[in-house]
Structure 1
Amino acid sequence: MIVNLAERAHNHNWRLDPITRSLLDTDFYKLLMLQFIWKHFPKVEVTFTLVNRTKQVRLAERISVDEVRQQLDHVRKLRFHRSELIWLAGNTFYGKRGIFEPDFLEWLERDFQLPDYHLSVVDGELSLTFHGTWTQTTLWEVYALSILSELKTRASLREMSEFSLDILYARAKANLWSKIERLRGVPGLRVADFGTRRRHSFLWQEYVVKAMRDTLGDSFTGSSNTYLAYKHDLEAIGTNAHELPMALAAMAADDEELKHSQYHVLQLWQNTYQRELLIMLPDTFGTTQFLADAPDWVADWTGQRMDSKNPFVAGGEYIEWIKSRGRDAENKLIIASDGLDVAQILGLHAYFSGEILGNATPQDFRNATDFLDANKWNPQRRIRFSSGWGTLLTNDFRGCDPSGGNGFDPISLVCKLSEANGRPAVKLSDNYAKAMGPSEEVARYRRVFGSAGLTNVPAIV
């Protein structure tokens, strides 16, 4: 059934319409990390804090605080359904059945409940934090971000007539189609939906995911949204995130343990999942230093997700590192996931695979990166490549508002771990603009980890 998005937007009673419909409406890696935390760190206390990196948009001036409370309170009442847990228990993920342990699923059904939150307004901006045991608190991250993103959308929709809404969604659909059309028929292309946390709305994400599935076929590898994977029989995509090394680093006893914590978390992870799900995310404290000092066994992991470094640079750096450790790069996998749009997806795919056919044009590659020449592809950089397409897949309404406004433009909103067992958590990132934590702790981490390979570019999403 085709949903009339404009009609739904015009006729909704917003106060009664929940944004989060299921606790499965989260990124799949959050559930994998939750099981990891439940096994190894069940008593750790943490705090998550909302950060709006788009300073010119003050959310409290756009969104009703009462609506935020209503949506957050609704999520706190949700519980995992028995049918959802049966699916988690019996489904095959990454070719393996039984990734989730029976005792963990029983705990989800019997004991899991989101803790309370702390919400206020400071200088026109929302202040939102979550505190509690790590096991109970970690899932708040994606629920909070998707709620705030959709409430921002709803605030702008309320100001529009039904006719204007028709135009808005017609333009957005045309924009989506123009992107998908350029991806059709590209040999070997692999792209997944990573757009839950900053989506335009749940309904739009679902519409986008079904459009990708129906038009891209096997090139569309699945969705990071567990609920949409469950509902539409898709592959659930995701492994782990910055949260884990940030927490272990925060709890480190000294600088030596701090430096080693980024590898200790990988040891625990591979033991937990019997050497499955081995995609590392090395940029929490800087990719270059991570690779330089990594134990040799890290090179046996399946691949790497590239998040905050130019993915052309990060992919090349990983390939050279793999070769220096005596492994075959063509058997490895790299995943790009930071602020991607269609031109960069095509450019990266061509750069690392050499495939430039289908509906792509030379213009796609020229626009992707200054140093890519699709006609002079170098087989020495061949590696398996996949894209995690996020905000600019599920929330690209730029230029779609018939009034010419920018109220639907996505903003860079994050909800990150800020404390673990009362000690501040830090993320350095490969991009100085994405560093997080108290200034004195950031300075300490930079002394321990160094600044090799770090750059400073604006954080778009």
Structure 2
Amino acid sequence: MIITSLLDTDLYKFSMMQVVLHQFPSAQVEYRFKCRTPGANLRPYMDEIREEIHHLCQLKFTEDELNYLSNLRFIKGDFIEFLGIFHLPEKCIQITEGEEDGEISIEVKGSWLHTILFEIPVLAIVNEVYFRNQYKDLDWTEGRKRLASKIETVLAATDVPSFKFADYGTRRRFSKDWHAEVVNTMVEKLPNHFVGTSNVLLAKQFHTTPLGTMAHEYLQACQALGPRLRDSQVFALEMWAKEYRGDLGIALSDVYGLNAFLRDFDMFFCKLFDGARHDSGDPFEWGERLLRHYELNRVDPRMKTLIFSDGLNFNLALDIARRFEGRCKTSFGIGTNLTNDMGVPALQIVMKMVRCNGQPVAKVSDEPGKTMSVDPEYLSYLRHVFDLPKL
């Protein structure tokens, strides 16, 4: 089986799940899967995917896993008690044929608290089932060669000695075994640059730091859970601060685009949050504008952390690091280029929240291809409310 532990997911799923338990325990949501890779045929593997998901839904947290989570400084006792009885409800996930040739449809509907952990392992399952069928007996020699080249690139970048990066590649990895090899290699070969992984199981296994705060779904859900739509981003950040009291202080900036984020990210949030994460649009422009925003709000940018995580490779990450060296703290979350660079095309797959409490929710990205909504009228209304440009 591909997923053998419920820890085999990203840390921000647990940090968001704890907020859901304490602040939004009755919220009902819907997620939908989408493959953005043209011509990828997933239909022959539907039964295999169903079998893997059935196994996923039988898993429960072990005492050892719960003990590990309980030792994370921001995880609270009642959340651990809840996880002790938790399992993913199989009745909440449906896998059928999609509308287009080769497409499959994966839908998750149910309590947010009980379904939030589906996304990452489901994407990992789809990836691994696809690659082990599409490229049977693929030699890992090319992947190891490329990984070694990345290590050499980082070690050669002596002009940015403070360069730090993390693995963010669970959802698009080639396989769980390759993912483990990558993380283990980085821990051993780049101890001064590799700061951890978003994958909780691998962080535990290789004694590195699990990393993550919030994802797009959290701010999207707040479109339906907050007092009014225009204030939903402020509401989301305030509820996060209420839960974590200054801990886990990296804000996600691109659910409504950077202009809307900066309008809401006022002096209070500039001082309260440790920094922000970039996930769409031009990273250099984003960084320059954010640093200027800190200065306008009388905050020293050198005390803040900018995290970049949008489709990075190591050369681009190092170029960004050079631009902002000495001007702020930077860190980089590298996903597909780290965990699925094997010499064969990677799948571009996502699984996004599309409804909360029966209401459409959406992400309006600075990168049009990342915008996702099931309701064009709601998307148009969202653009109007946040004064976003029409496409």
In the superposition, the TM-score normalised over structure 2's length comes to 0.95
Per-residue CA deviations over 1:55-114 (Å, capped at 9, x if unaligned) read 332322xx41110110000000000111010111124xxxxx3x1111110111124433
Q: Does 1:242 align with 2:223?
A: no
Matched, 1:440 2:377: yes
- Alignment partner of 1:118 is 2:94: yes
- 5 Å matches for 1:37-436? 37-60=20-43, 63-91=44-72, 97=73, 99-116=74-91, 117-122=93-98, 123=100, 124-158=102-136, 160=137, 165=138, 168-184=139-155, 186=158, 187-252=161-226, 257-300=228-271, 301-353=273-325, 382-398=327-343, 408-436=344-372
- Structure 2 Cα separation of the partners of residues 125 and 284 of structure 1: 26
SS class of match (1:173)? helix
Q: For the residues of structure 1 that align with 2:262 and 2:276, how far apart are their CA atoms?
A: 11
1: CA distance, partners of 2:63 / 2:293: 45
**Cα deviations across residues 167-219 of structure 1 (Å, max 9, x unaligned)?**
x3111111110111110264111010000000000000110111111111121
8 Å Cα contact 2:97/2:104 also seen in 1: yes
Q: Which residue of 1 aligns with 2:2?
A: 19
CA distance in structure 2 between the aligned counterparts of 1:428 and 1:29, rounded to whole angstroms: 21
Q: Is the 8 A contact 2:56 2:88 kept in 1?
A: no
Q: CA RMSD in A?
A: 1.5
Task: Look up the equivalent residue of 1:108 and give its one-letter code.
Answer: L
Cα distance in 2, alignment partners of residues 447 and 274 from structure 1: 32
Alignment check: 8 A CA contact 1:250 1:426 kept: no
Partner amino acid for 2:363? Answer: K
Deviations 1:428-448 (A, max 9, x none): 111111111111111111111
Higher radius of gyration, 1 or 2? 1
Residue type at the aligned position of 2:328: I
Contact 2:88 2:118 (8 Å CA) reproduced: no
| Match status 1:28 vs 2:39 | no
Q: Distance in 1 between matches of 2:61 and 2:86?
A: 10
* Bigger shift: residues 291-300 or 69-78: 291-300
* Deviation of 1:115 (Å): 4.0
SS across alignment from 2:195: strand
Structure 2 distance, partners of 1:111, 1:147, is 20
Q: Distance in 2 between matches of 1:207 and 1:30?
A: 23
Q: Percent identity?
A: 34
SS of residue in 2 equivalent to 1:443? helix
Secondary structure of 1:304's partner? Answer: strand
AA aligned to 1:121 is: E
Counterpart code for 2:37? T
AA of the residue aligned to 1:215: K
Q: 1:293 to 1:229 in 2, by over 3 A?
A: closer
Aligned length, in residue pairs: 383
What's the secondary structure of 1:110's corresponding residue? Answer: coil
Tell whether the 8 Å contact from 1:115 to 1:136 is kept in structure 2 after alignment: no
CA offset at residue 291 of structure 1?
Answer: 0.4
Measured after TM superposition, the shift of residue 119 of structure 1 is 0.8
- Please tell me whether the aligned partners of residues 306 and 337 of structure 1 are also in contact (alpha carbons under 8 angstroms): yes
Corresponding residue SS for 1:319: helix
SS in 2 for 1:237: coil
State the 1:252 CA deviation: 4.9
Tell me, in whole angstroms, the C-alpha distance in 1 between the residues paired with 2:36 and 2:12. Answer: 23
Supply the distance in 1 between the matched residues of 2:62 and 2:264 (Cα, whole angstroms).
44
CA distance in 1: counterparts of 2:95 and 2:155, whole angstroms: 44
What secondary structure, in the 3-state scheme, does the structure 1 residue paired with 2:209 have?
coil
Q: Distance in 2 between matches of 1:27 and 1:258?
A: 28
CA drift of 1:293 comes to 3.7
Question: Which shows bigger deviation, 80-89 or 184-193?
Answer: 184-193
Q: CA deviation at 1:390?
A: 0.4
- Is the Cα contact below 8 Å between 1:115 and 1:137 reproduced in 2? no
Indicate conservation of the 8 Å contact 2:20/2:112, yes or no: yes
User: By how many angstroms is 1:54 displaced?
Assistant: 1.8
Q: TM-score, normalised by structure 1?
A: 0.81
What is the CA-CA distance between 1:248 and the residue it aligns to? 1.0
| Partner Cα distance (2:38, 2:234) in 1 | 34
The runs of 5 or more residues in structure 2 that have no matched partner are none
* AA matched with 2:254: D
